[in-house]
A and B are shown apart, each in its own frame.
Chain A
């Protein structure tokens, strides 16, 4: 019988966007039937344009920095964009796929994307900003699949 994996993706920053897409694309390559349930800030990962998905050094003390940076400096305007640019350069240099590429690989491998209807409404997201492959549902719909999975992760 086909193995199944469900992931709940709740974060919308660049660093936390990678694990769901990496795990989902890999599991699909291994023959798993995969669904990702996107809720709260994870919904950002469903937007057609992912350029707003950023990383912040602020409140992120584990993030390796090229030079030590006091929190007072990290909060200055433009620091988030700079950190994001640096992280993207680093990812590229190491041959890590872009988020867009990983997301496309997931879709190609029939990973199902479910957007939490409640949080879409809560944050007043415009569904036209989301990729068209998204399905909308609630917690009960998620459990319909998650209840039969071999692996279920919360990211």
Chain B
């Protein structure tokens, strides 16, 4: 999947993946896609919850070799 910005949250625990995702989205334009990589399994539900509550769209959510990859499209 194409993305405009990438952010690696590997090794970070709650709430950092969410808080830093929010920070990464700030200077992005509407419609742009952020790729986030995380190792905290709690991030799976949290990223969906973040998307649901902020109006951003979680385009995809996959796991690859113990890493969770998210593509978040800015509202």
Contact = CB atoms under 8 A, between A and B. Distances in A.
Q: Report if A and B associate in a common complex.
A: yes
B15 interface: yes
A8 to B, nearest CB: 19
A22 interface: yes
Interface in B8-24: 11-16, 18-19, 21-23
Main secondary structure of the interface of B (DSSP, over half): helix
Interface residues of A, number: 14
B13 A25 contact: no
B68 interface: no
Interface residues of B, number: 16
Contacts of A31: 53-54
A28 B53 CA distance: 12
B12 A95 contact: yes
Interface in A32-83: none
